[in-house]
A and B are shown apart, each in its own frame.
Chain A
């Protein structure tokens, strides 16, 4: 997250500037974390660099935050890195694909996050791949970790990220003929106001919200 917060804090649309927690939004830095990372993260980064000579080209950022290591990877290199992580660094299990939509990051709106688990070494890392809204294609890792089949279908269904190379990329949670991708930020929540005697309560997306 690297957006700067402007304007008054408090509830949007009203004059409520009470801002209980203050306007502190720790904007996460855009650069990588400095070495040493701590724990087993240094080992992982070194092993990956040794096993994958194109490390500095493929991996744009290495972030260690709150005790977790995130590798930001260029999407064209995703499958290679995934293969090496599985075969050489023994991250046998991928815990799924999590999609995130950042509408304010032009050029990298759609992000797919792959948490990885190595049971042999008892280690966890995370891969993050970003792609633009205008070209929502990410290569599929189903050939590396077969369990990602449904996860990629779900991410496609909910965010519209098209995974190239997926054996059968169709909707999985919504009906097959549904329009739109529900968990994107520009898709409405779709609630209706609840009617009472003489008044209505607006749907959750229309109520006043605090920043």
Chain B
């Protein structure tokens, strides 16, 4: 075994077993040296230990750093450290034009890319003033994609949450169902994740032929598959012992901390933006807002499981609507804004459809100019600021977009639900056991890409 340097002034060696700091002695555990750690800690008179659940940890849902102050097994203080995934997306967007910004926005909260895109596009459309000109087929497709994305996001939440609490089979079931949804995404948009499918003005391309039949089959198989997880976990004594009463955050706490989404709904308040401030035609769909009244991890788990079924209901209604709207455009009619060319699958992959190329090269000079200027310069958005919100699987996701009248966004700020929700970690975990922190964080379902942007 490597010899541990016992000198107390190892400030230069980050891997020393212990070093003195202004806050006291810091111990570094590097594996295999547990007994030396125990003896060293036994020498100190401190009862409280500060443990770092560092950014690299299998159970912290991404690069989240939790600094725990422990007294035995009880947590006395939890401090959250974020910023390990800060990408500067908002600043990058300021150097791209309005349509290119979608490709950045979509990578923010990577489990719900369609929601990021839709929030941004709704904001841009509000600034342009074309919210009522978006074709109905485009809105229905947006709703369909959003609900599919809600299912895939909840699957990851359930799977990883269960894995972190010790259950492995739900992870396999959840990712199996997620694969079904991702295959659907790939058929429709071309990509499994981070699709950049929703564009300002509509969606980038229509559904492929025969998609309605496939979607109905997908709904049928998902409905059957959701039973696997439900039968395994709902009512399972071990699961309930691990999750009931854990991570309690009541309604007052939620509103003070600005928390929305399943966490708020598990406290009893049926606040869902799809019902209260509908967008994309959500007022025309029939679905229920699921609430629980226990405000704990088990309640949030039940809320997410039930939301899956509601999403399937909405998807079925969307498919019916799509049948009726066959052949409608999926982009706004104004040619000075609409992204040119619907894509088509050719011999060399997905690209501009040959019909469009024929039109711009052969028949219409105006279309050629539109295509050229839209792709190189982009459209202009009148000056102003707008705040558009959607109900993402984690809560209220909103884009605050400021325009100065040019071809590039002046400032885009995303109000990410996980950013607010993660602030409640301390409130949920302090006073409980170490193992319950994992459950509490899993029930918040933070996605660090959205938290750090």
A, B assembled together: yes
Chain A contacts to B: CB under 8 angstroms: 1, 3, 5, 11, 18, 20-22, 24-28, 65-68, 70, 92-96, 98-101, 113, 115, 117, 119, 122, 124, 126, 145-151, 154, 171-175, 182-183, 189-190, 204-205, 207, 209-211
0/1 per residue, B78-102, Cβ < 8 Å to A? 0000110010101110011100000
A95 with B379: CB separation less than 8 A: no
Say whether B248 faces chain A, with CB atoms less than 8 Å apart: no
Say whether B378 faces chain A, with CB atoms less than 8 Å apart: yes
Total contacting residues, chain B, CB less than 8 A: 58
Instruction: List B residues 256-273 near A (Cβ within 8 Å).
Output: 256-260, 269, 271
16 contacts between A and B (CB under 8 A): A20-B336, A21-B336, A24-B382, A24-B405, A26-B382, A93-B258, A95-B398, A95-B415, A96-B420, A98-B415, A124-B387, A174-B86, A183-B91, A189-B92, A209-B95, A210-B97
**A207 CA to B410 CA, complexed, in Å:** 17
Would A100 and B402 be within 8 Å (CB), given that A66-B127, A68-B387, A150-B419 are in contact? yes
Residue of B nearest to A119 (CB): B271
A96 with B386: CB separation less than 8 A: no
Residue of A nearest to B427 (CB): A146
B82 with A173: CB separation less than 8 A: yes
**A208 CA to B271 CA, complexed, in Å:** 45
Least CB distance from B309 to A in Å reads 25
B257 with A146: CB separation less than 8 A: yes
B126 with A67: CB separation less than 8 A: yes
- The one of B127, B387, B407, B410 in contact with A126, judged by C-beta atoms closer than 8 angstroms, is B387
Say whether B380 faces chain A, with CB atoms less than 8 Å apart: yes
Residue of B nearest to A95 (CB): B415
Least CB distance from B240 to A in Å reads 30
Say whether B384 faces chain A, with CB atoms less than 8 Å apart: yes
- Residues from chain B with Cβ under 8 Å of A70 in the complex: 385
**A66 CA to B383 CA, complexed, in Å:** 11
Least CB distance from A15 to B in Å reads 15
- The one of A24, A174, A182 in contact with B380, judged by C-beta atoms closer than 8 angstroms, is A24
**A161 CA to B258 CA, complexed, in Å:** 21
A205 with B95: CB separation less than 8 A: yes
